[in-house]
Amino acid sequence: MGFKFERSGPMTTVQDLGRYGYQKDGFSVSGVMDRRSAITANFLVGNEAGDPVLEFLLIGPRIMMTSDAVIAVTGGDFTPKINGQPMPMYEAVAVKKGDRLDFNLAIEGLWGYIAVANKLDIPLVMGSYSTNMKCEVGGFKGRKLKNDDEIDFREGGRSGLEFVGHTIEKEYFGDMKKDIRVVLGPQDDAFTEEGIKTFFEGDYVVTNECDRMGYRLDGPVIEHKGSADIISDGIPYGTIQVPSSGKPIVMLTDRQTTGGYTKIGSVVAVDMPQFVQSKQGCCIRFVPVTVGDAQYELRKYEASLKALIHEKATAEDIDGVTEIKRQESAQKGKKKWSIKTLLHLN
Is residue 108 domain-resident?
A: yes
In the predicted model, is pLDDT for residue 311 greater than 70?
A: no
CA 30 remoteness from chain centre: 11
Q: Are 96 and 142 part of one and the same domain?
A: yes
Query: What's residue 128's pLDDT?
Result: 96
Examine the fold and report which residue of 140, 163, 186 is the final residue of a domain before the chain moves on: 163
Q: pLDDT of 177-231, one tens digit each?
A: 999 999 999 999 999 999 999 999 999 999 999 999 999 999 999 999 999 999 9
Query: What's residue 341's pLDDT?
Result: 38
Amino acid at 69: A
Is residue 343 domain-resident?
A: no
Q: pLDDT of 258-309, one tens digit each?
A: 999 999 999 999 999 999 999 999 999 999 999 999 999 999 888 877 776 5
Least confident of 1-15, 43-57, 144-158: 144-158
What secondary structure, in 3-state letters, does 101-162 show?
EECCECCEEEEEEEEECCCECCCCECCECCCECCCCECCECCECCCCCCEEEECCCCCCCHH
- Would you give the DSSP letter of residue 281? T
Give which of 203, 342, 290, 237 is closest to 20, Cα–Cα: 237
Span 247-262, average pLDDT: 96
Q: Are 23 and 75 part of one and the same domain?
A: yes
Q: Are 131 and 22 part of one and the same domain?
A: yes
Cα-based distances in Å from 174 to 149, 266, 297: 31, 23, 22
Q: pLDDT of 109-128, one tens digit each?
A: 999 999 999 889 999 999 99
- How far is the C-alpha of 70 from the C-alpha of 159, rounded, in Å? 7
* Residue scoring higher pLDDT (336 or 27): 27
- In the chain the first and final C-alpha atoms are separated, in Å, by 66
User: What mean pLDDT, rounded, does the chain reach?
Assistant: 89
Q: Are 10 and 142 part of one and the same domain?
A: yes
CB 90 within 8 A of CB 38: no
- How far is the C-alpha of 56 from the C-alpha of 268, rounded, in Å? 24
Is residue 342 domain-resident?
A: no
Q: What is the total count of domains within the chain?
A: 3
Is residue 53 domain-resident?
A: yes
Q: Which CATH number goes with the domain that contains 255?
A: 2.40.100.10
Q: Tell whether omega for the bond before 243 is within 30 degrees of 0, i.e. cis.
A: no
Is residue 327 domain-resident?
A: yes
Least confident of 56-60, 81-85, 155-159, 212-216: 155-159
Query: What's residue 119's pLDDT?
Result: 87
Examine the fold and report which residue of 267, 289, 311 is the final residue of a domain before the chain moves on: 289
Q: pLDDT of 136-159, one tens digit each?
A: 999 999 999 999 999 999 887 778
Is residue 346 domain-resident?
A: no
In the predicted model, is pLDDT for residue 343 greater than 60?
A: no
Is residue 226 domain-resident?
A: yes
pTM (predicted TM-score)? 0.88
Per the structure, the complete domain to which residue 268 belongs is given by 177-289
Is residue 158 domain-resident?
A: yes
Query: What's residue 305's pLDDT?
Result: 72
In the predicted model, is pLDDT for residue 325 greater than 70?
A: no
* pLDDT > 90 fraction of the chain, expressed in percent and rounded: 82
Q: Are 196 and 131 part of one and the same domain?
A: no
Q: Are 112 and 197 part of one and the same domain?
A: no
In the predicted model, is pLDDT for residue 329 greater than 70?
A: no
Q: Are 196 and 120 part of one and the same domain?
A: no
Q: pLDDT of 61-80, one tens digit each?
A: 999 999 999 999 999 999 99
Query: What's residue 301's pLDDT?
Result: 85
- How far is the C-alpha of 343 from the C-alpha of 340, rounded, in Å? 5
